[in-house]
Amino acid sequence: MIISFSCKDTEKLANGRRVRRFVNFERVALRKIRQLQAASQLDDLKVPPGNMLEPLHGDRQGQHSIRINRQFRVCFRWTKAGAEDVEIVDYH
């Protein structure tokens, strides 16, 4: 379940609005957001393996990510309530 977003554009996309900067990967991004919304525990995101769920380090310590494509990720903090501070980023 998604509790909060830290990016207004990601929230707009999750609510069915088109976002210009996400247009090239919109379908995949929406699928990943739906998976995040449906997850009741962090391990639910290990399937499919293409999500490449991983904990992040450095300035993103405490966050996890799932892969949209080679460049973009959905980053979030996982709590007992669900995913918080969800955002689509190019953090490379």
64 bridge partner residues: 55, 76
Q: What is the pLDDT of residues 24-54, one digit of tens each?
A: 999 999 999 999 999 999 999 999 999 999 9
Name 3's Cβ contacts closer than 8 Å, sequence gap at least 6: 79, 81, 82, 83, 84
Look up the CATH superfamily of 8-89: RelE-like (3.30.2310.20)
Q: Residues 74-79: what's their mean pLDDT? A: 98
Instruction: Return the beta strands (E) in 1-92 as ranges.
Output: 54-55, 64-67, 73-79, 82-89
pLDDT, mean of residues 4-24:
98
> Do 87 and 76 form a contact (C-beta atoms < 8 A)?
yes
Q: Is the pLDDT of residue 92 over 70?
A: no
**pLDDT value of position 49:** 95
pTM, full prediction: 0.95
Among 4, 1, 75, which Cα is nearest to 36's?
1
Is the pLDDT at 18 greater than 70? The verdict is yes
What is the reported pLDDT for 76? 99
Which residues are bridge partners to 82 per DSSP? 79
* Domain extents in the chain: 8-89
pLDDT at 91 over 90: no
- Provide, rounded to the nearest whole percent, the portion of the chain with pLDDT above 90: 98
